[in-house]
């Protein structure tokens, strides 16, 4: 697909749904600064190390987690493979639902994130760890798991159909697939230029310059984030051999959302792991005078509690391996 002009962001300022895992307790993560871009984003750049932003994201994270696990139809003794586990949102949530003989395999391309999950697991013998991508689960034997889960992982893959084939391979007959993906093509179709969810403002000219930093510098890397929609997910599941495919889709267009509470914290965040923070993009795109004008306007919106607009679409899919 030729990507329409724009950037794979929801108009509330982040990749729709592409958020990091959290331990169910909601505690803050520890660990060293890392050069791994996935771990950097999940541990620091996603929320700018702001407790306020973390708290605001928490309800959405819980909804993603519960939506995936509710559709997984877990049994007490299941072996669950969480593909692209991040910091363990789905995997640790599954442990809370499984019995003492259930197990979770945490799988991710990032060794740093696997190390973080291992630290959180703190010796729990129901946990094991495998460094692998969604498209190549070579460390997982065929027909060896009861459930495959994944959340906001296919959005970063340029071989999504291959990933579905791998999910099918590792599942036992009767095994279940449950996944969540943001549908960022929806955002590009409806609000391709609204970077912070505050469209129609006196700083639209400055926002456009900032957005061009993302549009011009990251298009190739982000293409997998917008080269599919919910219909493709169904088609890939069917082509991969799955049956009883069900998809739940939710879209929001210009829905009132929480205001910018802390503009300086927001500037320290990045909308996804592949791109600069907003502050870095602003520094690249704007002159000193322009930065001051943008800062003044956005800080005023934050102080006034002006609601933003959320435009996003997401899909939950579940399917059965016959």
Task: Going residue by residue through the chain, which has 322 residues, state the pLDDT in tens, using 9 for 90 and above.
Answer: 222 223 334 434 344 333 333 222 333 333 444 469 999 999 999 999 999 999 999 999 999 999 999 999 999 999 999 999 999 999 999 999 999 999 999 999 999 999 999 999 999 999 999 999 999 999 999 999 999 999 999 999 999 999 999 999 999 999 999 999 999 999 999 998 889 998 789 999 999 999 999 887 666 677 899 999 999 999 999 999 999 999 999 999 999 999 998 999 999 999 999 899 999 999 999 999 999 999 999 999 999 999 999 999 999 999 999 9
Residue 13 lies in a domain: no
Q: Which pLDDT belongs to residue 244?
A: 98
Q: Which of 153, 149, 134, 18 is CA-nearest to residue 71?
A: 149
In a domain, 7, yes or no: no
Q: What is the pLDDT of residue 224?
A: 92
126: exposed, middle or buried (C-beta count within 10 Å: 0-12, 13-18, 19+)? middle
pLDDT at 76: 97
What is the pLDDT, as a whole number, of residue 27? 33
Alpha-carbon distance of 179 to 91, in angstroms, equals: 13
141 within a domain of the structure (yes/no): yes
Answer yes or no: are the C-beta atoms of 134 and 224 closer than 8 Å: no
| Residue partners of 299: CB distance under 8 A and separation at least 6 | 263
Question: The domain containing residue 180 runs over which residues?
Answer: 37-320
Look at residue 182 and give its three-state secondary structure. strand
Residue at 28 is within a domain? no
Closest to 271 in 3D by CA, of 209, 182, 201: 182
Q: Which two tokens stand for residue 123?
A: 């010796």
What domain count does the chain have?
1
> What pLDDT sits at residue 199?
79
The pLDDT of residue 297 is: 97
> Is 11 a member of any domain?
no
Q: Which tokens is 184 given?
A: 């960022």
CATH number where 261 lies: 3.40.50.150
Question: Which pLDDT score, from 0 to 100, does residue 217 have?
Answer: 66
- Specify if 133 maps to a domain: yes
Specify the pLDDT at position 218: 64
Cα end-to-end distance, the chain, whole Å: 31
* Whether this model's pTM surpasses 0.85: yes
Q: Strands 243-257, 308-320: parallel, antiparallel or unpaired by DSSP?
A: antiparallel
Q: Could you identify the residue written with the tokens 């169910």?
A: 24
């Amino acid at each position: 697909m030729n990507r329409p002009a724009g950037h794979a962001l929801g108009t509330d300022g982040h990749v729709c749904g592409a958020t990091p895992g959290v331990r169910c307790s909601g505690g803050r993560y520890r660990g060293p600064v890392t050069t791994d871009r996935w771990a950097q984003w999940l541990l620091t750049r996603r929320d700018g190390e702001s407790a306020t932003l973390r708290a605001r994201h928490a309800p959405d994270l819980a909804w993603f987690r519960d939506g995936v696990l509710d559709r997984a139809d877990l049994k007490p003794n299941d072996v669950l493979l969480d593909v692209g586990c991040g910091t363990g949102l789905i995997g640790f949530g599954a442990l809370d639902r499984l019995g003492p003989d259930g197990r979770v395999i945490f799988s991710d391309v990032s060794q740093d994130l696997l190390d973080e999950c291992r630290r959180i697991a703190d010796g729990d013998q129901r946990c094991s760890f495998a460094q692998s991508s969604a498209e190549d689960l070579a460390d997982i034997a065929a027909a060896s798991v009861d459930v495959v889960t994944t959340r906001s992982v296919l959005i970063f893959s340029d071989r999504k159909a291959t990933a579905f084939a791998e999910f099918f391979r590792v599942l036992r007959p009767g095994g279940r697939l449950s996944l969540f993906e943001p549908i960022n093509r929806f955002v590009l179709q409806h609000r391709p230029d609204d970077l912070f969810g505050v469209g129609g403002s006196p700083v639209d000219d400055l926002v456009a310059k900032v957005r061009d930093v993302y549009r011009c510098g990251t298009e190739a890397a982000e293409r997998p984030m917008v080269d599919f929609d919910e219909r493709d997910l169904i088609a890939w599941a069917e082509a991969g051999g799955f049956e009883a495919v069900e998809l739940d889709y939710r879209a929001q267009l210009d829905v009132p959302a929480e205001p910018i509470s802390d503009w300086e914290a927001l500037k320290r965040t990045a909308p996804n792991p592949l791109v600069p923070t907003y502050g870095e993009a602003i520094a690249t795109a704007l002159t000193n005078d322009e930065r001051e004008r943008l800062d003044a306007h956005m800080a005023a919106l934050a102080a006034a509690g002006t609601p933003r607009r959320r435009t996003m679409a997401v899909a939950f899919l579940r399917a059965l391996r016959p």
